[in-house]
Amino acid sequence: MGQTSREHRARKIASLRLAAWVLFLPIALISLGIWQTQRAAETLEHSRRSSVELSTTLAQVKEIAASNPTAMLTFQGAGEPTSLSALVAVSQIEEALSQAGEELEISQIRRPLVWGTIGGAVLAFIGGALGLMAAGISGIRARASQRQLITSFQRLRSLLPFILATVVIGFSIGVISATLFEAVSMGLWADFTTGSAKFFAVAVVLAVIAAYSAFMALRGLKDVFALFTPEPLVAAGRVIEETEAPGLWRFVRSLAERQKALLPDTIIVGLGQGFFVTESPLRLWPEDRLVTGRSLYLPATYLDLLDQAEIAAIIGHELAHFSGEDTTYSQQFTPIYAGLWRALAALGRADGGRFVLYPAVKLGFHAMQRFDHAVGHWSRLREFDADRNGSLLATPADAASALIRTGIIAPAVSYVLERAYAGSADTDSDDAWPDLVAQTTELVTTNGWSDPMPLLADRQPHPTDSHPPTIQRISALGVEIGDNLLRRATRQPQPGSRSFADDLFSDWAELCRLLSRDFIDNARIMRDRRHEVLEKVVAGVSQETVVYDNVKPMIWTMVIIAMIFAGFGLTVVFLSGQLGLGYDEFAQSLIAAITAVGAVTSLLYAAFLYRGAARPLMVLTPDGLLASRLDRPIAWTDVAGYAVDASSRFALRLWLNQDAPLPEKDWRAIYSKIDRRQRIVTLGALGIKGMKAADFSALVGRYHEAAYAREELAAAMPHPLPCDTSAGEIDGKP
């Protein structure tokens, strides 16, 4: 209940934030525009009236000045009446008329900006409201059926870019117009001083920034259109022609006919974990071959460890995605849905402080999130339905056994592939290419399987779809997880026996060796590249760097403070009468003593800083960090993470590993701290001499990375391979 309440509260807060950006902010802009309209109308009317009145008055005064230049004229202004000679009055009235003309021009310039503020805000409000309505209606309809999900999403996909563009353009026009209106309005200020001029310049700069942000935001919106087209997926494997595996093609064809499903155009076999199908373009390495149409991917290691019935259930599951509405779903929805998520993520990254883009990004993510529940719901139903269809080609027990067995195969595959990727002795030889598939089979034959029960709560790996946990899928098949099922799923491979895969391929062993060679070749390339990168990182910090505390600004500050204390004390002593202290000697002595103590203390602190300025604050060596305030150096390999903080006081924070020794700090280092519970070492300073905080952070980062790179090179431990060697988005997987 508590968690549900927190989630409900979090959703409510998120909704309020969205409404604030998409609806309330445009309404606030509209209100500002209405206020600006009133101000602009009043100023324009006042300027026109003043111009007419001054023109009439000037004509009258000129007539008087022509006949009697020294005639004294009295003018009634806002304050007391003013008397001027006719000749002087002509000059001042002409100056006032010129100023009224400038105010009239400014008022005329401001008038269209008002409509820009209101029009832009209304446009942003309409776009935001339409976006919220479209997202809400589409999300509700998407829950009705899978076909309605596709239809609703296609409509939203067509509308969303234009809605987001409307929000960005409207918000940009409104913000720029409002900012320029206020900037131009400063020209009407009667007391337009130097400070006012600075304020005017700031307002103009803000308007320019808003205009630039709007331009960059509209450029970023192109990603929404461009990323609709799905990019080719990337996977490791080889296309298997029918001549290479006649048994496999016959087997798959018979399963497709029994299931009344479409036959895949291409069958691919690789070492990646998991079976999958896709109708998206697929780029295969190492051949760099682009495969289009319906593709079925089969992992060789799994084929070697599953029996015929289990393979039939799995391939039947995959072929089910090529039948009925799943084909439309995989072709028209899944790739484009993922593409739109990529587009919005690109927009979010492109935001970079461009505030005019932020409401559109918030609205776009909200629209997509409205589909998430429906997508997850129908995706799970698709998997349950595909499981049932696959079980019809064997038995529900076979399908359940396949689900469990694929789960326990995965750790063995990961172990063998990671070991091969790291370049173990039995895989890193040119003399003979090892068979990684056979190694995996031998591994489980010798060592057995891991406990399957903890794996039942896992979800089958998939980059896009949401799969139910394995235990739920088995339950949906109507199969009880008992001893017979577990015994079947965890059976040991028989030494020397042929697997079902041997019957499907013309030369199964040769194909496995070929796939192993591809994998090991790529591993060597990746290791060499990483080795080069590590060597460059290490070479970048071959020497030590000495940094000093930036005490000079503080020394000058203390000297100035001391001078202020001294000056104030001397003033009190020698000018006591003027200050109202009279002959109060006690007050004079007290103030003199206080100011003297303040001056001396400031000078002593300045001297203390000056004396310690020559001592290095830190010494960064390739092996570790030596700090004058710590009793021992800190090895870089003992540092799990670091951060440089320069917000209130400059500090370097180091998070140490659990097994790293904690140093002791000098008692005089009042701004440094050792947090033994969280294992954080904080080294405080006034700053780094000759270096900004960001530059110092980058310097620490280089030493930190170089130390770990040196350790990795010394131990010959390249970066481990991720468990799933396939990449990209896949339409279906068991």
CA distance 550 to 299: 60
584 vs 285 pLDDT, higher one: 285
pLDDT band at 719 (very low <50, low <70, confident <90, very high): very low
Least confident of 250-254, 283-287, 489-493, 550-554: 550-554
- Which residue has tokens 């006719």? 86
**pLDDT given for residue 397 in this prediction:** 92
**pLDDT given for residue 457 in this prediction:** 66
pTM score of the predicted model: 0.64
Q: Which residue intervals of 613-730 are DSSP H helices?
A: 693-715
Digit-coded pLDDT (tens) for 252-291: 999 999 988 889 999 999 987 688 888 878 889 888 889 9
CA distance 650 to 700: 14
The mean predicted confidence, pLDDT, of the chain is 78
Q: Which residues of 401-419 are buried (b: 16+ CB within 10 A; e: fewer)?
A: bbbbbbbbbbebbbbbbeb
Rounded to 5 degrees, what angle do the CA atoms 75, 78, 83 make? 25
CA distance 130 to 364: 12
Rounded to 5 degrees, what angle do the CA atoms 513, 519, 522 make? 140
476 vs 101 pLDDT, higher one: 476
**pLDDT given for residue 193 in this prediction:** 43
Instruction: Decide: helix, strand or coil at residue 396.
Output: helix
**In the chain, pLDDT over 90 holds for what percent of residues?**
14
pLDDT band at 251 (very low <50, low <70, confident <90, very high): very high
Digit-coded pLDDT (tens) for 497-534: 888 999 999 999 999 999 999 999 988 888 888 888 88
**pLDDT given for residue 299 in this prediction:** 94
Residue 622 DSSP one-character state: S
Mean pLDDT of 552-580: 73
Helix 358-392 vs helix 334-351: crossing angle, to nearest 10 = 150
**pLDDT given for residue 725 in this prediction:** 33
Instruction: Decide: helix, strand or coil at residue 618.
Output: strand
Digit-coded pLDDT (tens) for 589-629: 777 788 888 888 888 877 777 776 667 888 889 988 888 77
The 3-state secondary structure of 406-471, one letter per residue:
HHHHHHHHHHHHHHHHCCCCCCCCCCCCCCHHHHHHHHHHHHCCCCCHHHHHCECCCCCCCCCEHH
719 vs 180 pLDDT, higher one: 180
Radius of gyration of the CA atoms of the chain, in A: 39
Least confident of 7-11, 20-24, 535-539: 7-11
**Which residue type sits at 677?**
R
Tokens of 702: 């280089």
Mean pLDDT of 574-578: 61
Question: 532 near 579, Cβ under 8 Å?
Answer: no
Mean pLDDT of 550-574: 77
Residue 727 DSSP one-character state: B
**pLDDT given for residue 255 in this prediction:** 93
**pLDDT given for residue 139 in this prediction:** 77
Q: How many helices (H) and strands (E) does the chain have?
A: 20, 17
Q: How many CB atoms lie within 10 A of CB 622?
A: 15
Least confident of 105-114, 276-285, 309-318: 105-114
* pLDDT over threshold 90, residue 478: no
Digit-coded pLDDT (tens) for 694-712: 888 889 889 999 998 888 8
**pLDDT given for residue 205 in this prediction:** 66
Tokens of 8: 């409900």
139 vs 330 pLDDT, higher one: 139
